[in-house]
Amino acid sequence: MSRILTVIVMVVVLVFGIFLGARLNRGGDDRSGSEKKIFDAYTLIRDLYVDDVQVDSLAGAGIRGMVESLDPHSVYLDPEEVSFSQAEFDGNFDGIGIEFDIINDTLLVVTPLSGGPSAAVGIAAGDRIVAIDSVSAIGITHQEVLRKLRGKRGTTVKLKVFRPLSGKVMDFLVTRGRISTSSIDAAFMIDKSTGYIRLSRFVATTSKEFRKALETLRKQGMKRLIVDLRGNPGGFLEEAVQVADEFLGKERLVVYTKSTKNAVEDVRYESKAGDGFESGSVVVLVDKGSASASEILAGAIQDNKRGVIIGELTFGKGLVQRQFEFTDGSALRLTVSRYYTPSGRQIQRTYRKGGAGRESYYKDAIVDVHPEKLFTDPGGFLYLKNKDISVYATGSLSGLLSNPVNGSTFREGQYDLLKDSGGIIPDYWVIGRPYAEFYQELYRTGSFEYLAQRVLDDPQSTVQQYRESLDRFMSGYSQESRLEALVIKVCAEKKITFNKRSFLQEQKQIALAVKARLAHRIFGAEGQIRVYIMQSDPLIEVAAKVMGSGEASAR
């Protein structure tokens, strides 16, 4: 009996071996060796692995592995992620407002969305979320992130965050909110002739929204314009081109893309004739959170000498992705080309391929590159300096990067450092004074929102006199006489050590932060932006000085 059983088993194994061999060799004639290897590995795991394997998960993991070996911006999205991603462009979802990635099992904040709940409490690009609601986030999947961080508006989520730059672990309480996909956070007149537009991202409706805002401001007498791209992570290339078109005359080069493999991706984007804002001074505000489509717009303005760029060195993302969808609803967002500014600058920051390369890429994004570290004689570039900011006139550097000249402008190795940093170099590079630790602790713990609510709930507060007019509120409302007592009480409730000396040093900024949040509660998001822009933003002061000298239109 045992011999018969043995024969049967041998026959079964032989038949299965023949079947498997046929499956592995099928199609071998029209597959390269590497392609066949991938297919063979997939088939072996699917058919012979000791435990059950879900084929969709196996295929997805394989694609993720391949994509991880590429650049930091190529990604695989499963069907649920595609759905959530589309919702970000369509609107109507609630969450904490971050773009994220998972690198080496760690949840990484790629960027907090401008004006979103995470940005409001001070979560920064490059932060690592290590726990969500006291549950470890190490090893979390993309789907789990979406399920845990999105939720009903007004609900809260506790995040434990590691910040590599400081080496600190911090706790944040984030209140979920509606994540608006409107491109324009604010559009208003700063004075009788200066308009201001804040663009938070580039989605399918951006150019339409921008043209509408331009027309509204022109009717109000706008002769010069400040476009604020700080914290704008980018979006659709085509929308950035159309916004740039509003400032440029006919047939001016906006941007061009090149691919080493596919000539279809080699495209030149030029402006068309129109009635946008082709004359009048233009200033574009940028920071290290301005990326991708934001850099396309800034580069087009700068290279065509249409306006002046003010702020920090931008993020440095010069890769173009195209999304390819699979039949199961998943998608591959693949880098297909690089983009170049009109002068031929390829502003992509250097990166190493693979998981470790991705991690260091986003970590480096939060490291400041300061002019003081780059120039042999930084004082020779100094344009303005006061107790709050230092401003360097660095408009010549972009040309030097394209056509390096031997001389004393750079110390040894500094030229390579700046070139490797990528990004758009602002014409006026602004370095601000860092906030004190006490102020940052109030910011991180959401204490400013809490203080604003305390003031609003107090019927004796002077803020009650200004509820009917934002203009009156901005000009007439000042800090509460009991601000210090309120801060002490909030510090006790949130277990923050009250520092009298730091409070006095930062009292003006603390009062302004509370005032801005009061404006948000009473007059909406634009009210908060107007308070900051018109009453405390040093870049607006620099822009006013530059525009007053005529430099904004003379470039």
Q: Which residues are catalytic?
A: 292, 303, 317
Q: Which two tokens stand for residue 296?
A: 């396309």
**CA gap 180, 171 in Å, rounded:** 25
Give, in degrees to the nearest 5, the angle at Cα 118 between 61 and 198: 110
Q: Which two tokens stand for residue 444?
A: 């991180």
Residues 445/114/163/156 CA torsion (nearest 10 deg): 40
For the four alpha carbons of 398, 399, 404 and 410, in that order, the dihedral sign comes to negative
Tokens 């308009």 sit at which residue? 195
Cβ atoms of 218 and 209 closer than 8 Å: no
Cβ atoms of 85 and 78 closer than 8 Å: no
Q: Which two tokens stand for residue 102?
A: 């998972």
**CA gap 462, 546 in Å, rounded:** 37
Amino acid symbol at 91 = G
**CA gap 293, 238 in Å, rounded:** 9
Q: Is residue 269 classed as helix, strand or coil in its secondary structure?
A: strand
Q: Which two tokens stand for residue 118?
A: 């995470």
Q: How far is CA 257 from the centre of its chain?
A: 21
Tokens 């906030």 sit at which residue? 435
The kind and range of the H/E element at 106 are: strand 106-112
Q: How far is CA 130 from CA 127, 142, 259, 458, in A?
A: 9, 14, 38, 38
The kind and range of the H/E element at 243 are: helix 237-245
Q: Is residue 103 classed as helix, strand or coil in its secondary structure?
A: strand
**CA gap 206, 183 in Å, rounded:** 5
Q: For the chain, what is the radius of gyration of the CA atoms?
A: 27
Burial class (CB in 10 A: 0-12, 13-18, 19+), 430: buried
Q: Roughly how many angstroms between the first and final C-alpha of the chain, as a whole number? A: 95
Q: How far is CA 35 from CA 23, 39, 62, 194, 516, in A?
A: 15, 6, 13, 59, 58
| H-only helix segments in 458-535 | 470-476, 483-493, 500-523, 525-535
Cβ atoms of 236 and 243 closer than 8 Å: no
Q: Which two tokens stand for residue 459?
A: 């019927």
**CA gap 514, 542 in Å, rounded:** 24
